[in-house]
Amino acid sequence: MGHETDRGEAEMAVAPRKPRFLCLHGFRTSGEILRTQINKWPESVLQRVDLVFPDGPFPAEGKSDVEGIFDPPYYEWFQFNKEFTEYTNFEECLEYIEDCIVKHGPIDGLLGFSQGAILSAALPGLQAKGMALKKVPKIKFIIIIGGAKFKGPSVADHAYSSPISCPSLHFLGENDFLKPYGLELLESCVEPVVINHPKGHTIPRIDEENLPITMSFLDMIQKILSDRE
């Protein structure tokens, strides 16, 4: 009986650390809203990762698209012009994300939706160029939901000058207005894993069809993490 207990404790002691993701919500939503949406994913997915859901650094400066669906407060990561080529409070946003990574570390990857996805996909490149996240370990993985690329050269010239080489999982919605830009982002990634879904600009449920792709990606990143540690 004692041997069984010892063996169980030994197995628990060497249980691999799960990949931990900082999850960046969409424009004028919140960490709590993103948590609510992600929690609709299957338990088999959620139990494979640790997820942290901070709010963006700035209270929403205007109306939120989720008013009447999700309760306030709402936040944004940075502000931008209509063409999405000029960005305000961007440096402050990068510093805030770095502080979140320090506070909630170790953080292995970024998961983002919409504005949070655009940030998540740009940060590995900005980090490699020494323009962001200088005080924290390298971002190893990204999960991009309804993402796109920065258009403004002040960010884009640095974020995508080299291919995004870390493992990446991308959710592309058939009716998402950002889909063409999400496809553009794929071209900047080395071996991206792609899940297509029939919805619009939203966080899709993970169904029987795309569950195996998701689990395969999680297996891959868990192996990378375990091998490094």
- Span 20-227: which CATH code? 3.40.50.1820
**What pLDDT is stored for residue 89 in this prediction?**
97
Question: Which of 116, 160, 143, 174 minimizes the C-alpha distance to 41?
Answer: 143
Q: Flag whether the pTM goes above 0.85.
A: yes
Query: What does the pLDDT average to over 198-212?
Result: 95
Instruction: Calculate the average pLDDT of the chain.
Output: 93
The amino acid present at 85, given as its one-letter code, is T
Question: Which of 113, 106, 174 minimizes the C-alpha distance to 140?
Answer: 106
Give the separation between CA 61 and CA 64, rounded to whole angstroms.
Answer: 9
Domain ranges within the chain, ordered by starting residue = 20-227
**What pLDDT is stored for residue 13 in this prediction?**
52
